[in-house]
Every structure is written in structure tokens, then in C-alpha cells.
Structure 1
């Protein structure tokens, strides 16, 4: 495990406790908890006394900076036995000592080589250590950027929207990452007349109080003194949404599918299929879908591609040998080959027809592999690459791994064998790869693919059955899989629930290595910069196994050590993390804690301190209103089953009254996926950096809602943050999760460190 696995004590109510102490302490605020806090503070005070006896290292400097390493040098401290080197991604002058820093390494010399790519700014401090303790740290030194990965990104047009409100016309448009870096200003025109100038320090939205329903708007960017051509004119929306009319498939019936039903639009992904800078919608149709745990024949799965004006570009029919349900078809849509146009990759079978109506295996004869329970447990399994503009199949390979013996995956009736996941990841820091998996309750196999010359080329494969460190992948998967650069080397890792796979296909760590009552399967996880006193990314996750010493926890994305954790005795089905309370630094996390006889909701701060026993819904979060905090997105039911939706809503968490306040609620659109209450998608697909949410209508269309709140917070489009973009691409995998960016966005604006990526964007005529 790279020799770096070390167990950090779980943090409980701000105190570092061992796992046994956490269980004994009970809920924060008990006498046991306070006693542990006092003991910890006494230990810190003793250590500080030792620090005063040893001189701090001086003259710390960056001796050498290459693309792949940073060499530090300092003056020796008399009596020092060794030196501890710390790093951080932000220099917190309001913190003391090494708070806000993480240990980078130890050495007995007065030089140290930090062997990580220099694609980001890092601050370093050095502490001298002798037999009595540690010195105070040296002054911080900044190591700048030397390496530039220049990841592939999409060309995006202006994304201008104009919405009629009671106050006038709300206009909002996209700032691309390159324009943000150049400090672009903007000019807004109504019917050809300049009505507003937006400076380089302002956000890209404007309320035109004189605007009318029949007006037309355009925007031009001004970089330096150069005026760019205006974008294409847009008309005013009469409502807060864009409705995309879809072509609902006719119900499919045969001797095994006899029920009455209608298809409904389900999980939807966004990508640019034709290279014009506008997103298309890739819609998966749902008909009689089943969970893997249940028997029953389902209707065939269709995936359509639509322009935003409702034009159907193509329909792929996955056929009778692909079962419908949340765990089967993890389709991925992205520009995998860098030609400026997206491709689609998904699992296929005998009977799948591409967007031109041709069978992917070249034969018209279809064998029905559905058994008497409606499951497909025999027959060929494929992975197919489709052209995103035409839907034509470009390449088909055998799905890896094949099912083999069904019982070898954990049961004999076909539940665990058909648990699939998928995501997009920049495994080399520059190009996107498609990642697919099979299994997560028992055996787990993950494979990464590149697209080269219209072919699927396997990059790597990791199998928990291969032994060695790979065995710790066993039983660690969640109902989602996503990508993020958690070890700060410029390349994304694959977060597979309680295990994280490095960009090269080796196991980075598994929470199961903490012990028997750690890690395992879970329903929800979030990856982001949640703790502003801890460098890098954190992963918040809730777990299903029970009892666990850390059933609700946040861990360091780099090494899996806990930032905080809580013991649980029940399946924790939902959890979320986002900045929803400005009174506390960083992001908050929340879930329903169940331990022993106690079962109570809780919201915790970035260090695990419980700040409330009331909480918002632990489902989706979204940036919607005018501030930098995130809002809550969910749905309501007509009954207790959760399968008959009543309304969808976006709400604000009122941290003082400890209740949700509705900002948007609609009863004429519905969520998808039953109790999961998902939108068809959420992502920043037009307007400024805030997100859109899309739900289905009773008629089978998709309505995309956008905010009309003014915001002074300027950011580039979230889709030009590679982590957010890849997570939006895997949003429809398993149990849908809200995408999160690679950097903190929240109420602590002075602590926001917004990376300005240097992207490789296909050239296009921005004059449109």
C-alpha cells in the first residue's frame, strides 16, 4: 500500500479518539466525551512544552522545482533528530502551528524531495523533532506551478438564457474557463441596443427591468480591448423552464411482457453530440424496471439523443436481453476521443440495435435469454461504443468481466452478478477514459477503457479475486462510482465506495484495512473540499453494514484516514455534504445516525462536531439562489411508498429555525427512480455557474428549470471544472448523486481557492 497506510484516530466532537473510545463516548456532549476532550488537550499542552525547547528550522526555501517534484532545503536546528515536513493547498495565516497542514514526510537530512507533480500551488512548513517533542514550525514557503496537464474540455457556446419574471427579464450567460482566466468583461444587448456592461469582477447575470416578453438578447465578451462577436440572439422564456418535447416509445409487448404500462423518461445525461457548443440530452426510457433483488420481465431499454429544441437525432434499442433497472445500464456519454463530439458507451447484448437500426452483432436473428423469472443470466454480454451524433455502433467488445458462474458473485438467483457501475475519469490527467465495473457486495472487477480510432482499448483491469492488495476491493463498492484527483497528482482516481483505485489501476486504499468493523458497502458518498483545515479532498460516506465503528464518516481522499467518524448499528441509507450553514467553517455533513437505542438525525461541522439534531433531507444538493451556499433538492410523495411522487422542490436550510424553506416547488413535474427522488439530471448546462435541474412531465417530456435569482458571485462554468464535469457524466450511475467540483464553494468566500484550469478546448467560431 505504498508504505503510507496509517490509521488516524476517529474524530468525535472535535476530539481525537480511538475506535473503542468513540463507542464508549456515546453522543457528543456526554461526560465521557468531555473527559476525552480534556485528556486530548492535556496531551497537546505537554507537547507544546516540548516544542519550546527546540529551535524551529530556519531559511526554508524551494531549492528545485521540476514538473514532477519539489525539493526543499532549510537550516539545521541544533539537537534535532529528524524533521517532519508538512504541506497545504492554502496558507491559513489565522491558524497556528501546522493546523491546516498535512504530513508530507520525514527525514533526518535538511533537504526533502516531495515527489508529486507540480500542477498546483503548495505551501510547506518544516518542524524539528527531538526526544522531547516537536519545535514550532518554520515559516511557510510557497512552491509554485511548474507542470501543466492541460486536460481536454468541451467547447461551449455562450449559453445565454433570458427569462420573464415579475421584475423584468432575467438574463444569465456562461463564463468559460479561458475567459475567466483572461478577466473578460461582457456587454448585454436587447434588440441590438447595449443595455448593460458587466465588468471583469462581476457575475454574468443581469435583471433588465425594461425587458419584455417579445425582446431578443445577445451577449458579447470583451477581453482586454478586443470585442468578440456577439452570440446568437435568444428569445425570452415565458416560464422558468425550457421544456424539451420527447418522442415517447410505444409500449413493448410479447408473450413475457403482457402488463399495461407507459414508458417514462428516466436518467438523462448531457453532452455535445455534434460539436456546436450546445448540450444534447441523452435520455434513457424506463418501462417496468426492476431492482436486481426482484424477479420480473422488464420492457426493453431505449436511449435517445435530443437537441434542446426537441429534434430526435437517434434512438438505440438495447433489446430484450438487457434488463431495465437502476443497476444494469450505466451508460457513459463524453467526448472520449477529443474530436469535439461526444460518444456513448454502454453494456449491450444480442438484440441491441444502434441508432441506424442495425444489430450490433451483425445478425438479425435474436435469441431470447430471459429466463422464467425475467432475468438474463446467460447469453453474450458486450460493451459497445456508439457515435454520439448518429448513434451508429463503432465498436463492440466482450464485456469484461463476463458473468461466468452466477453463484460465484454471491447468490444463485442473479442479484449480485448484475450489479454494474460506470464513470468517466481523466486517468492520465489529460484525456478522459470510460470506467465500468461489475459486482460490489462480494467480488468486484473494474476496467478502464480509452477510445482510439473508433475502437475501445482497455487501459487496465483490477479484480478483487486476484489476491494481494486487490483483495481489499472485495465488498467495498457503493451504489455509485465517481472520479476525482484525491491524491493531488493531477490524475483522477476512481472512488469505488469504501475503496479508491489509483489512476494506474492499483488499489490506493480500502477502508476495510482499518479493521473488521470498517468500510463495506454504502448507498451514498460525496467527494469534495469539505474541510478547509485539511488539505486536499475529503470523501463523506454512509455505510450499510452493521454494526460499524465508522458507519458515518469522512475520510482523507488521499489515504483513507478518518477526518471524523461515528459508530452505527443500522443501515445508514442516506447522507449528504455541502456548505449549508454560514456559522461554521467549511462544509456540513448530515445523516440519520443509528447507534444502539439512539436514532437521531444530525448535522456535523467539518471536523465532526454535532451542530444540530435537526437536518434537511439527505439527498441532492444544488447551487440555486444568489449566495455561495448550496440548497436542498428533493421530492414529496402521495403516500408512504415513495413510488407515487407528488411534487419536486428546491429549498434553503434555515440554520436558525432548523427547517427547510421552499424556494421552488412544482406539482406538475415528477422525480424518477421511486424513493430515490432523483431529477432526470442536474448540471450547469447554461446560464452562469449555478445549476439547472430537470424533471419529467406527465406527458413524457423533460423540463429544465433554471434560477432567476441575481447573484454577485462570479465563477466560470462548473462544466469546465474536470471533477464536476466527470461527476455530471456519471450522475446517472446507480443511485444518482449530485456532482461536486474539485474546489470549495461556500459561505467562507475568503477561503475559496478557485483553480483556473488551462484546458485543451477544441477551436470553434465563437461568433455563432
Structure 2
């Protein structure tokens, strides 16, 4: 990052890794109970997609590595050849599951080298695994949802992990397999060294059509209906805390899902959707998070809304602005107000691959193209080195830090 005139101390730190690889993902949590946030990274950087036109054989194996806050290496876990190199094959998170103030690392693992002649993993054992965050030692393990019934390699290779407070008190692990049409979802509670299944849900047999094909690239969890228990948001479908469907928009697969109090002028929370599946209407829309009722939506047809963000980037309108755009038509971009007014058709492009709270005001800044920019305003920083991996408040001052990766380092 380029320093301001007269600034001698850089407003960043650099943490080197073992080896010379760039890392791919990072989870942030207090692993050792000292009150500071530590790092769990996945490296090397590689992301293979299971779809037939994108898939290639893995050339290496992922390593999950834990580092203390100051960069001290804690442990490494090699996922081996049973986990192919791609985000869909290798979900992991860090979360304190047992209340001891030390986060566990929860991940999907396998066993041995079950690759077929092409290099795909289509058989062999798969596990939901919980590791001690401080030492990397095994705490608990159970079978991952099976590949059966999901419609072949591409769909069966889609896996996710999340956490939800299903009883309002204890964090539960949520695992999902399938995503694009059929889905299997299971909830587990960590009881000592045992993973106890709490409920499971799937849409394989007898499920209504509007419960199929609703999944997204990630899951979210929050108490949507203010009953004290978290719901699980699986794209356009929401499961209640007991694993039963709460609501679905039926809009199929969204590329972007943003949950928050997006519109402060109405009660409760909202969800903004940017939907990949072609729609006659509502390809970009905002819904009531408690009920799934569509509050407003785009009235024209869309083919593949592929770009989007949601956040308060201007003080000229209440609440969060919502952005969406067609994948294959740069002229079709829309910036919405929280109440559904089209504010502009501008193209943000590389200047807004992310947004975040950077300075002292209540509006988010645009992050991208190696700089930080106020919407319709000044450039606040340039020469932002590295590629953005995550934006989060890791210091605790409510403003957000930008986590980037470079060769063999995190900054």
C-alpha cells in the first residue's frame, strides 16, 4: 500500500508462511484461548470446479495450516489425495464448539488415495472431522453425507459447512451436499469426542419442485423469525431450526445472497438476491427474511445475474444499496436503493470486487483494482498489494481490515 505524505509506519503487517505457496482461503478464530485471533489457512492456491468443462486433475494436495496471531506456526494437516483441489471439495471453518474459548477446526476429510484413472475421487470414505484448533489433534469424526442419489460426479462434489445456534445456545455444525438440484443437509452437535446427529433433511424423494435447485455457493445462518433459534439459509431456501423447510422463493440458484437489516425503515431483516437461473422477473430482488415474501424485484427478464454486492455506500439513501449485473452483457448493470429504486446503471467492474468499512464514517468503501475508493468520491488508498481474500473487523474497532494474499505471505 502506498503511504500518505509524512506517514512512516505502514498500516499493515505481513505474516510469512511455511514454504513458498500462496494461500487460497483463511479462517479466523482464537485457537489457543489467549484472546487474540489466529489464522487457519488452506494452501496452495488452486480452485478446480467439478463441472465437466472446467474440471482438471489435481496436481497437488491441500494443506490446512494453523498459525498463531503473531505468525508462529501451530500445526499442518495434509488433506491428501482423497480431497481434490477446489473450494467445493474442501470446506472448512473454525469455531469454538464446546465453550472452552478455543476454536475447533471443522473440515471435510477423506482417506488414502481413491482417485480413479482420470484423477477424480468418486469413491472411498469421507468424513466430517473436528480438530483441536491449537494442536491439530483429532477430536471427533463421523461419516460425511453420501454421494448417493445426487445425480453424478458434478453435483455430488458440491459440499459446504456452516454453524448455526439451532437451540439458541449451542453452536451446531451444518453440513450440506448437493447444492444445485438435490441437497442433503445434516446438523450435528459436538458432545465431548462424539458428533451427535440432531436432524437431517433432503429433497431427494417426494419433495415439491420449489424445494429443488435452490442452493447457493455458500450457506448462511441467523435467527430470521426472532424465535431465539437460528435458521439455515441455503440460497433461495430456508430451513427452520428443526430442519424443516421454513420458506422458499422458488427462484432457483442465486449467485449472491446478502442478509442484514438492509432496509432500516421496515421491521426485521431482509435478504437481497442476485439470481443466476434465468427469470421472467425478480432476478434481482429483496425479500422479508422471516417469511420469504418478495418486497421488491426487477420487473424485466434476466438470464444470469452474476455480479453483485450489497452495502451502505452512500448517505443519500437510507439503508444498503444493492448492485447486480448480467454476466454476459456489460451494459446491463443496476444499482438499487434499499426500497427498490433504481439509482443508476453504472458499471463498477474491478473497482468494487468487495466493499468494506475503511474510514470513520458509516458508509462502506469500494475495494478493488488495488485501491480503496469512496463511492462517487475520493480515492483513499492506492497500490493495495496482493489479492483480496477476506474483509473483516479483526482488530475490534468496528472498521474492517482487508486480508490479502501474496507469495508465501498473508497481509
What interval of TM-score do these two structures reach, taking the shorter chain for normalisation? Answer: over 0.9
Is 2:254 the counterpart of 1:522? yes
Please list the CA deviations of residues 680-735 of structure 1 after superposition, one character each: whole Å capped at 9, or x if unmatched: 3222111511111111123x1001xxxxxxxxxxxxxxxxxxxxxxxxxxxxxxxx
| Structure 2: unaligned runs, 5 residues or longer | none
The Cα shift of 1:373 comes to 2.5
Alignment match of 2:366 (pick from 632, 635, 654): 632
Q: Is the 8 A contact 1:295 1:373 kept in 2?
A: no
User: Could you say which structure has the larger radius of gyration?
Assistant: 1
Q: Distance in 1 between matches of 2:85 and 2:378?
A: 36
Per the alignment, do residues 561 and 242 of structure 1 end up closer, same or farther by CA in structure 2, a change over 3 Å counting? same
Residue matched to 2:86: 325
Tell me what 1:242 maps to. 13
Given candidates 47, 50, 70, the residue that maps to 1:289 is 47
> CA-to-partner distance for each residue in 1:559-587, whole Å, 9 max, x for gaps?
11111111333111121111112111211
Q: Distance in 2 between matches of 1:335 and 1:598?
A: 43
Query: Aligned partners of 1:454 and 1:472: how far apart in 2?
Result: 38
- Aligned 1:160-559 pairs, distance under 5 A: 238-248=9-19, 263-293=21-51, 294-350=55-111, 366=112, 368-399=113-144, 401-404=145-148, 408-410=149-151, 412=152, 414-468=153-207, 472-512=210-250, 519-559=251-291
- The equivalent residue for 1:583 is 316
Report if aligned partners of 1:287, 1:300 keep a CA contact under 8 Å in 2: no
In the aligned structure 1, how far is the partner of 2:239 from the partner of 2:347? 32
Preserved CA contact (<8 Å) 1:574 1:592: yes
What is the match of residue 375 of structure 2? 653
Q: Distance in 2 between matches of 1:502 and 1:334?
A: 21
C-alpha separation in 2, matches of 1:651 and 1:165 = 15
Contact 1:531-1:538 at 8 Å conserved across structures? yes
Counterpart-to-counterpart distance in 2, 1:533 and 1:594? 31
Determine which of 301, 304, 308 is the counterpart of 1:568. 301
**Structure 1 residue 473, shift from structure 2 partner:** 2.8
Q: Residue 306 of structure 2 contacts residue 327 of structure 2 at CA under 8 Å; is this kept in 1? A: no
The equivalent residue for 1:143 is none
Shift of 1:668: 3.6
Q: Does 1:682 align with 2:391?
A: yes
Report the Cα offset of residue 664 of structure 1: 2.4
Deviates more, 1:586-595 or 1:575-584: 586-595
Q: Do the aligned residues in 1 keep the contact of 2:385 with 2:404 (CA within 8 Å)?
A: no
| Cα distance in 2, alignment partners of residues 373 and 594 from structure 1 | 31
| SS across alignment from 1:377 | coil
Mapped partners of 1:455, 1:649: distance in 2: 47
Aligned pair count?
A: 403
Q: Secondary structure at the match of 2:156?
A: helix
Q: Distance in 1 between matches of 2:316 and 2:385?
A: 36
Using the alignment, how far apart are the partners of 2:295 and 2:136 within structure 1?
45
Offset of residue 242 of structure 1: 1.4
Whole-Å Cα distance in 1 between the matches of residues 167 and 61 of structure 2?
A: 36
Relative to structure 1, is the Cα distance of residues 396 and 349 closer, same or farther in structure 2, using a 3 angstrom cutoff? same
- Kindly provide the CA deviation profile for residues 199-237 of structure 1, in whole angstroms up to 9, marking residues without a partner as x: xxxxxxxxxxxxxx8xxxxxxxxxxxxxxxxxxxxxxxx
Cα distance in 1, alignment partners of residues 357 and 276 from structure 2: 28
TM-score for the superposition, normalised by structure 2: 0.92
**C-alpha deviation, 1:661, in angstroms:** 4.2
Q: Distance in 1 between matches of 2:326 and 2:43?
A: 35
- By relative contact order (CA 8 Å, sep 6+), the higher-ranking structure is 1
The correspondence for 1:622, drawn from 356, 363, 385, is 356
What are the within-5 Å matches in structure 2 for residues 50-65 of structure 1?
none
Q: Is the 8 A contact 2:24 2:45 kept in 1?
A: no
Other structure's SS at 1:415 match:
helix
When residues 287 and 681 of structure 1 are mapped into structure 2, their CA distance, relative to the original with a 3 A threshold, is closer
Which structure carries more helix by proportion?
Answer: 1
Contact 1:289 1:323 in 2 (8 A): no
Secondary structure of residue in 2 paired with 1:478: coil
How many angstroms does 1:662 deviate by?
A: 2.9
By how many angstroms is 1:494 displaced? Answer: 0.9
Contact 1:590/1:615 (8 A) holds in 2: no
Query: Relative to 1, partners in 2 of residues 1:395 and 1:438: Cα closer, same or farther, differing over 3 Å?
Result: same
Q: Rate the CA distance shift 1:425–1:665 in 2: closer, same or farther, 3 A.
A: farther
Is the 8 Å Cα contact of residues 23 and 405 (structure 2) preserved in structure 1? Answer: yes
Per-residue CA deviations over 1:247-301 (Å, capped at 9, x if unaligned) read 12xxxxxxxxxxxxx7321110110011000011000002543111213223111
Paired residue secondary structure (2:282): strand
Whole-Å Cα distance in 2 between the matches of residues 371 and 594 of structure 1?
34
Match of 2:401 in 1: 692
Give the conservation status (yes or no) of the 8 Å contact 1:480–1:523.
no
- For the 8 Å contact 2:237–2:248, the answer to whether it is kept is yes
Whole-Å Cα distance in 1 between the matches of residues 4 and 34 of structure 2?
A: 29
Alignment gaps of 5+ in structure 1:
1-163, 169-212, 214-237, 249-261, 351-365, 513-518, 637-647, 655-659, 672-678, 704-768
| CA distance in 2: counterparts of 1:280 and 1:419, whole angstroms | 28
Cα 1:315–1:537 shift into 2, 3 Å = same
1:727-747 deviations in whole A, cap 9, x for unaligned?
xxxxxxxxxxxxxxxxxxxxx
Checking the alignment, whether the CA contact within 8 Å between 1:323 and 1:376 is kept in structure 2 is yes
Q: Classify the secondary structure of the residue corresponding to 1:416.
A: helix
